[in-house]
Amino acid sequence: MIKSMKLFQNFIKKKKIKNFETLETQIHPNTAEMNEQLILKKKLKKLFKNKNKKNKEKLLLAIGSTSVILENLLLGNKVIQIYEDEIAECCSKSFWPGIKITKLINNVVSYSLQ
């Protein structure tokens, strides 16, 4: 999780998300790493300056491997993923040919439906 936090901070510095401070932080509801995720959530919330402002764009910022990426694409949301291991954690066009994958910076990709 420490590497994920550093990747997120680098991503923010490069201004790849507009109005990132309006994002809400949620953790996976069913995980063995609950304590680690709660610590990460607390660190992320410190980065968000204006918690009252609503983000009009529906954006999911996923960290690591998760099926919520595909669910959110089907709902029409923009999806950005921060990952540590591209092969193990990222969606692949081999399995999901209808997904467009755009590399934003190292270890960060954006997904959209074609």
Structure tokens at 7: 């990747």
**pTM, whole model, 2 decimals?**
0.68
In angstroms, the CA 112 to CA 62 distance is: 14
Residue 54 has pLDDT above 60, yes or no: no
In angstroms, the CA 38 to CA 114 distance is: 34
Q: Which residue has the higher pLDDT, 31 or 105?
A: 105
Overall domain count for the chain:
1
Question: Structural domain of residue 71, as residue ranges?
Answer: 2-113
Sheet holding 99-105, edge to edge: 59-63, 78-82, 108-113, 99-105
Q: Which residue has the higher pLDDT, 99 or 66?
A: 99
Structure tokens at 106: 């190292």
Summarize the confidence of residues 87-113 as an average pLDDT.
Answer: 91
Summarize the confidence of residues 68-90 as an average pLDDT.
Answer: 89
What pLDDT is attached to residue 50? 53
Q: How confident is the model at residue 56 (pLDDT cuts 50, 70, 90)?
A: low
What pLDDT is attached to residue 14? 73
Q: How confident is the model at residue 82 (pLDDT cuts 50, 70, 90)?
A: confident
* Whole-number percent of the chain with pLDDT over 90: 16
